[in-house]
Amino acid sequence: MPDTFTFKCMVCQQPINGEYAMEKKVIQCPSCNERLKVPRGSYVVKISPEVDDVEWGFGDEHLEAFAAEDPRIADVLASATMKNCWEFMVVSLMLESRLRQVTQMLADGAGKPRPFKGWIKVHAGFTNFIDQSTVQYLDLLNDCYALMSTYMQDALYGESLETIILFGTRCQECIEGMMTFHQGLPQHSLPADAPYAQIEHILYNLVPNLDFAMSQAVMDLADTYAKGTLAAKAPEFSLISPDIHMLFNMRAKLPKKIDISKGKPKKST
């Protein structure tokens, strides 16, 4: 791999020589003095027709290590070049294999709601459970966003297997967080009356929504590899549930104290 790459100023199109150590740093164009951020070198190499494509030539030790996880990854590495977007397919396969755990959990019916039973008066436990679950989801969402932005970008453009391995580690942590959150929901139950039924439905769909969004990313990454070239615009991943704002709105309307009489919540006097 060359130590330098050439990119163009977005304003005056002046070719500028960059170094990999300068990636993401702000510099000044030597021609028009415009301040600009140095792009990732691997991105420039992939989209520049002036750069010749060459094989990466991964060693047998790398191929064997990844083959133990997924033989398809070893096949991709064996045919990797500087411009064929092999990183996208490796990340796609790593994300796909880890998401299978969540998909299987959901298919097995883990984390199903429990029917509400009981006679409870002046009970704030429902709102506490909703609040705690919401906070846990937001923490999980932040971790998933870091995975799909920072760690994924480093894996796609970091020019090293170390960043890809780190992505796989962080990915597994997010997957375990998703499963822990979803499997913990049945430890509490909510009344079948509105708005609790709607809130419970939203809570139980938070992880399936994350699973779906990440699965879309798997397909987008694989599609980039299949095309063998980068799109003009990088793929964007929206992970947040479309129902989260509805959850916030319904939670804000809940009474602080609740009387339960024959399963029907009423505001306490």
Write out the DSSP string of 90-111. HHHHHHHHHHHHHHHHHHTTTT
At 263 the pLDDT is 47
Cα–Cα distance for residue pair 4/214, rounded to 1 Å: 34
Question: Per-residue pLDDT averaged across 31-48, rounded?
Answer: 75
Of 95-104, 186-195, 206-215, 244-253, where does mean pLDDT reach its minimum? 186-195
Strand positions, DSSP E, the chain = 4-8, 15-19, 26-28, 35-37, 258-261, 264-267
> What is the arithmetic mean of pLDDT over 2-11?
74
51-81 per-position pLDDT tens digit: 666 777 788 888 888 888 899 999 999 988 8
- Angle of CA points 165, 145, 128, to nearest 5°: 125
- pLDDT for 3 equals 64
On the question of pLDDT at 109 being above 50, the answer is: yes
pLDDT at residue 156 tops 60: yes
Closest among 249, 117, 233, 98 to 177, alpha carbons compared: 98
CA 60 to chain centre: 30
Question: Residues near 260 by Cβ (< 8 Å), separated by ≥ 6?
Answer: 118, 119, 120, 121, 123, 191
Q: CA-to-CA distance for 127 and 145, rounded, in angstroms?
A: 27
Instruction: Please give the structure tokens belonging to residue 36.
Output: 């600009």
Question: Above pLDDT 70, what percent of the chain?
Answer: 80
Predicted pLDDT at 268: 44
- Residue 170: per-residue pLDDT: 97
Calpha distance 202→243 (Å, rounded): 7
For 137-159, b/e burial (b = at least 16 CB within 10 A) is beebbeebeebbeebbbbbbbbb
Task: Report the pLDDT value the prediction gives residue 55, as an integer from 0 to 100.
Answer: 79
* CA distance linking residue 230 with residue 226, whole number of Å: 10
> How large is the average pLDDT for residues 220-241?
78
pLDDT of 205: 94
Whether 121 shows a pLDDT value over 80: the answer reads no
| Higher pLDDT among residues 255 and 104, named by residue | 104
User: Residues 255, 256, 258, CA angle at the centre, nearest 5°?
Assistant: 70
Contact present, 178 and 210 (Cβ < 8 Å)? yes
The pLDDT of residue 1: 53
Distance CA 98, CA 161 (A): 18
Integer Cα distance of 92 and 174 in angstroms: 15
**What share of the chain in percent tops pLDDT 90?**
38
CB proximity list for 211: less than 8 A, separation 6 or greater: 99, 102, 103, 106, 178
Per the CB < 8 A criterion, the answer to whether 10 and 36 are in contact is yes
Nearest 5°: the CA angle 168, 173, 174 is: 95
- Give residue-wise pLDDT tens across range 166-225: 999 999 999 999 999 999 998 888 888 778 889 999 999 999 999 999 999 999 999 989
State phi, psi for 243 to the nearest 5 degrees.
-100, 0
